[in-house]
Amino acid sequence: MPVPEPPFEGILLGAARREGSGGERRTIANPATGEPIASVAEATAEDGDRAVRLAEETFRRDWRRRTPRERAAALHRIAASIREKADALALLECRNVGKPLAAARGEILLGADCFEFYAGAVLGFGGRTVPVSKRGTCLTLREPLGVCAAILPWNFPFAIATWKAAPALAMGNAVVLKPAEDTPLSALALGDLALEAGLPPGTLQVLPGAGETLGAALVAHPLVSKVSFTGSTEVGREVMRRAADGLKRVSLELGGKSACLIFEDADLDRCLPSALWSAFDNAGQDCCSRSRFLVQRSIHDRVLADLEARTRAIRVGDPLDPSTEMGPLITPAHRKRVRSYVEVGEREGARRLCGGESPTDPARARGSYLTPCLFAGARADMRIAREEIFGPVLVAIPFGDEEEAVALANEGAYGLSGSIWTRDLGRALRVARGIETGVLSVNSSASVHLEAPFGGRKASGLGRELGLEALATFSEEKSVFLSEE
């Protein structure tokens, strides 16, 4: 019997879904089964140019002229539509990315929350009056930038699309979204929803396509005012270099190797179940993953024994099964890369306590599964303790005192997130001040709050997303002086 063609998904350019100008298509596979789920048109650099020109025209003629309340109403309609279609969107994300269905649903609803947050926030986000030394009044205006290119990673495709699109649109910009090659489906669905919700065609366009061609062309396009990029540090550097010629605004949300610090006075009953998932959530494919556990020596062995038991008990399997806790990795190629780090860790002399294997049972053999892996006896100079693995590999390192814990946490190139577990408030504050990251949580594994700024330091990035900061970074502040003379 012939294998049926997977459904076609066109790029969203203007008001219509269509083929890319090069006629190329990419087959998207379900990471849990390897089965093709969609045949997606690839946008070319030429399509990128058309989309940007249309976005610029829509921006000037229409969207920037709408009042904040009109834009907010459109954002509310998008949020309502996301909520209404949450089940279908969650299923789409689950099948495309391999995340457990409940987690996918949570991320879709976070996207609706994000549109609602910015619909409200923009109504209170204005300029200021500034006391100046000339006779008169100086006031500032918050103005949109124009066309913003948003380049997305594959690990949280829908949520991160909304973190960029919602504040940019709220401020009156037009947005061209470029999803990651392997995960374009939920961003395309978001584009459809936005059109249905009455956004003028061209205000939010979605172009799946290759990073090196389409992505690079969007970054360099003279009509693109801002590039909001989430992805690897390596590509982030390239984006910044290319954007420099046009002096574009750039925000970069990049990789991480965050630490979870567990002190001897921590409430372990609260800490361990939560901390475990700060490492393994989304199968460790999370920029904020606490993939390094720094554990005080006096409790080290007890904590590791508990973590090993919990890691072994994680249910890895079909993302559609409600009892599943961890799905597959995004692609077989990515699993191979993560698996190579398990071998690196063993060669470096760390002790693999469990996991790091590809299940061979028939139910999982066709998916890109890898069992969660725990390493003990690691040192800070090992590659597994320094490099971003971006998979379910957790590395534990012991420490003696507070000073050593902070020094270890600051080892390495990255500075994104982290957790501190202690009952001592003074210590929590001292350690929080000492750690060079953009985000931290105390006695919690949270990283993201829509209302708070989010972003990294060092090799983890530049600029902040979310919070009111996102409205600031998607706008320019213009000073206007009114003379009283």
* 164 noted as active-site residue: yes
398 counts as binding ligand NAD under rule CB under 6 A: no
193 counts as binding ligand NAD under rule CB under 6 A: no
Q: Which residue is nearest to ligand NAD (CB)?
A: 211
- Site residues for ligand NAD, window 222-261 (CB under 6 A)? 230-232, 235, 238-239, 253-256
215 counts as binding ligand NAD under rule CB under 6 A: yes
* 253 noted as active-site residue: yes
Could you tell me the end-to-end alpha-carbon distance of the chain, in angstroms, rounded to an integer? Answer: 85
**Cα–Cα distance list, 126 to 118, 143, 472 (Å):** 13, 9, 10
d(CA 15, CA 214): 20
Give the DSSP H/E element, type plus range, for residue 321. none
154 counts as binding ligand NAD under rule CB under 6 A: yes
Stretch that binds ligand NAD, among 3-11, 18-26, 139-147, 175-183 (CB under 6 A): 175-183
**Cα–Cα distance list, 441 to 200, 296, 307 (Å):** 40, 18, 20
Phi, psi of 346 (to 5 degrees): -65, -40
Stretch that binds ligand NAD, among 43-51, 193-201, 213-221, 469-477 (CB under 6 A): 213-221
341 counts as binding ligand NAD under rule CB under 6 A: no
* 465 noted as active-site residue: yes
Question: Of 391, 456, 463, 467, which one interacts with ligand NAD (CB under 6 A)?
Answer: 456
Q: Output the DSSP codes for 109-142.
A: HHHHHHHHHHHHHGGG----EE--SSSEEEEEEE
Q: What is the maximum alpha-carbon separation in the chain?
A: 85
**Cα–Cα distance list, 289 to 199, 258, 394, 416 (Å):** 35, 6, 9, 9
d(CA 102, CA 100): 6
CB of 451 to ligand NAD, least distance (A): 16
- The letter for the amino acid at 156 is F
The count of chain residues that interact with ligand NAD, using the rule CB under 6 A, is 31
* 478 noted as active-site residue: no
Which of the residues 94, 271, 287, 288 is marked catalytic? 287
Is residue 149 within 8 Å of residue 112, measured between CB atoms?
A: no
CB of 387 to ligand NAD, least distance (A): 10
447's tokens: 């990283």
**Site map for ligand NAD, 260-299, x if CB under 6 A?**
---------------------------x------------
Question: Of 181, 281, 318, 325, which one interacts with ligand NAD (CB under 6 A)?
Answer: 181
391 counts as binding ligand NAD under rule CB under 6 A: no
**Cα–Cα distance list, 74 to 94, 290, 479 (Å):** 27, 37, 29
Which of the residues 99, 164, 226, 248 is marked catalytic? 164
- Site residues for ligand NAD, window 425-444 (CB under 6 A)? none
CB of 187 to ligand NAD, least distance (A): 10
Question: Of 9, 113, 116, 388, which one interacts with ligand NAD (CB under 6 A)?
Answer: 388
CB of 390 to ligand NAD, least distance (A): 5
Do the bridges between strand 147-151 and strand 174-178 make them parallel or antiparallel, or are there none, so unpaired?
A: parallel
Question: Of 261, 353, 416, 459, which one interacts with ligand NAD (CB under 6 A)?
Answer: 416
188 counts as binding ligand NAD under rule CB under 6 A: no
Q: Which of 256, 167, 168 is nearest to 438 (CA)?
A: 256
d(CA 369, CA 286): 16
> 427: alpha, beta or left, given left = phi > 0 and alpha = psi -120 to 50?
alpha
153 counts as binding ligand NAD under rule CB under 6 A: yes
Stretch that binds ligand NAD, among 31-39, 145-153, 187-195, 342-350 (CB under 6 A): 145-153
Question: Of 59, 158, 375, 390, which one interacts with ligand NAD (CB under 6 A)?
Answer: 390
Phi, psi of 320 (to 5 degrees): -85, -15
Supply the residues annotated as catalytic: 164, 253, 287, 465
Judged by the rule CB under 6 A, the positions of this chain that interact with ligand NAD are: 151-156, 178, 180-181, 211-212, 215-216, 219, 230-232, 235, 238-239, 253-256, 287, 388, 390, 416, 456, 460-461
